[in-house]
Amino acid sequence: MKILLYFAKEIDMDNKRETIEKLRCYIREYDSVFVLKEGIWTGEKFFQTASRQNVKSSLFLVTKPRADILQKYNVEIQEISYEEYCNIEKLYYTYEFSDRIHLLADHIQYGSLSNYISGGLLTEEEAFGALLL
């Protein structure tokens, strides 16, 4: 399994086309692409879990990665600007994507993994493990 994690930035029309093309390339190259803003999803526990589960074919895109901390984990991380994140978020909610792209945010909404964590129904490790399966 190959996973990509992408951290966030914002978009105009030219950037939208460029973002779409990047996402197409990521989908071809990785089994999973995780797009992360700030919050629990960018914490060290999440990357520890990803590293333990050996998510080789995943990419993590993050807006504000703490590179010094995250480099020690065996996951592929790319930094994106807030503009890029906003563009990806708009595209994510506008178009139907494959099940390979995952937008992770700490929005307060019922039924979300972050809501289950804050409500005490799941531990962070359980939520992260379930997401990375």
pLDDT tens per residue, range 74-85: 778 888 888 888
Q: What is the pTM of this model?
A: 0.68
Domain count, the chain: 1
Q: Domain range holding 112?
A: 3-132
pLDDT number for residue 10: 42
12-40 pLDDT per residue, tens: 556 778 888 888 888 888 888 888 876 66
CA distance 98 to 107: 22
Cα dihedral 51/52/56/60 (nearest 10): -40
**Backbone φ and ψ of 104, nearest 5°:** -110, 120
Strands (E), 1-133: 3-7, 32-36, 58-62, 76-79, 101-104
